[in-house]
């Protein structure tokens, strides 16, 4: 099996069990200005009427996009369970929802004015092929807007969770560790320019925004335990990790039982063959 095939086999098996895990974990997250990471992407493609969601999961982002008048929407995902869940959303009754790979999109050339992708681009192998396919299905001047994960904020529970997880994974047999996912270049501005430039996209706009996921322990645990790395761990190991996490963050939990939790996202936007339709903004976010 090729590296990409084994990555995709892992992702399909994981999402067969947990097709809505990302939306459940991150749907309630908020940036300092009150928007969710899904809403950031909607705002980036506000003027586009034909929009594709790449790695659409259970369709939460498409549901936000469906609030725009008369939009034609489409979603594609590797996992068959994901578009099946998205089809259950009444707002998406008119959307085209497909099982498929971003490396071989089941859409005609020039089908979309914009392509969005939330926490999915950084999981994809053969990324040059993904870039070429997105360029093919976008019309000239089309917008690509993506959210990619940016790690822990620092000084809160997610950072401590990652430390515990690293130590847990070091102790489990190699066959219970997940394959390295995606292409590292999708996690940096220069790397994305290297990938997207040859496909015809302009230089990316890159903003880094903290997303707050603080809440009661059950909600925070539900968010952090949705990471792919936990997928192959057995129930006993996950339970020990949960107990260690509860103990580790006790000192930072407020008297009301709120556990501080946050992670960074990178908000990336570019345009096929042209300049961006907006200027990045927001006093609480940084533009590198």
Ligand X SMILES: C[S@@+](CC[C@H](N)C(=O)[O-])C[C@H]1O[C@@H](n2cnc3c(N)ncnc32)[C@H](O)[C@@H]1O
Residues that bind ligand X (CB under 6 A): 11, 15, 22-23, 55-57, 60-61, 76-79, 82, 101-103, 118-120, 123-124
Give me the least distance between CB of 36 and ligand X, in Å please: 10
Question: With respect to ligand X, which residue has the nearer C-beta, 64 or 201?
Answer: 64
Question: With respect to ligand X, which residue has the nearer C-beta, 220 or 249?
Answer: 220
Give me the least distance between CB of 94 and ligand X, in Å please: 20
| Spatial distance between the Cα atoms of 255 and 268, rounded to a whole number of angstroms | 38
| Spatial distance between the Cα atoms of 31 and 246, rounded to a whole number of angstroms | 25
Give me the least distance between CB of 112 and ligand X, in Å please: 15
Question: With respect to ligand X, which residue has the nearer C-beta, 22 or 205?
Answer: 22
| Spatial distance between the Cα atoms of 143 and 157, rounded to a whole number of angstroms | 35
Question: With respect to ligand X, which residue has the nearer C-beta, 101 or 266?
Answer: 101
Question: With respect to ligand X, which residue has the nearer C-beta, 249 or 262?
Answer: 262
Give me the least distance between CB of 124 and ligand X, in Å please: 4
Question: With respect to ligand X, which residue has the nearer C-beta, 11 or 217?
Answer: 11
Give me the least distance between CB of 123 and ligand X, in Å please: 4
Q: Do residues 72 and 51 touch, judged by C-beta distance below 8 A?
A: yes
Give me the least distance between CB of 195 and ligand X, in Å please: 14
């Amino acid at each position: 099996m090729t590296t990409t095939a084994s990555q995709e086999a892992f992702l399909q098996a994981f999402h067969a069990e947990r097709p809505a895990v990302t939306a459940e974990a991150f749907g309630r997250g908020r940036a300092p200005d009150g928007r969710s990471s899904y809403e950031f992407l909607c705002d980036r493609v506000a003027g586009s009427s034909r929009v594709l969601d790449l790695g659409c999961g259970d369709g939460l982002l498409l549901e936000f996009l469906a609030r725009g008048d008369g939009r034609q929407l489409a979603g594609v995902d590797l996992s068959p369970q994901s578009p099946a869940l998205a089809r259950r959303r009444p707002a998406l009754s008119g959307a085209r929802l497909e099982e498929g790979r971003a490396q071989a999109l089941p859409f005609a050339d020039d089908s979309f004015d914009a392509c969005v992708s939330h926490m999915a681009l950084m999981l994809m192998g053969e990324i040059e092929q993904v870039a070429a396919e997105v360029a093919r299905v976008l019309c000239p001047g089309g917008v690509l807007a993506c959210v990619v994960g940016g790690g822990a904020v620092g000084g809160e529970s997610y950072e401590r969770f990652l430390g515990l997880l690293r130590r847990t994974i070091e102790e489990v047999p190699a066959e219970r560790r997940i394959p390295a996912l995606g292409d590292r270049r999708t996690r940096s501005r220069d790397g994305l320019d290297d990938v997207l430039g040859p496909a015809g996209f302009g230089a990316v706009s890159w903003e880094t925004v903290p997303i707050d996921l603080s809440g009661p322990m059950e909600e925070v645990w539900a968010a952090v335990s949705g990471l792919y790395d936990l997928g192959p761990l057995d129930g006993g190991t996950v339970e020990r990790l949960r107990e260690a996490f509860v103990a580790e963050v006790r000192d930072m939990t407020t008297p009301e039982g709120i556990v501080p939790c946050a992670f960074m996202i990178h908000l990336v936007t570019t345009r096929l063959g042209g300049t961006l339709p907006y200027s990045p903004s927001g006093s609480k976010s940084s533009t590198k």
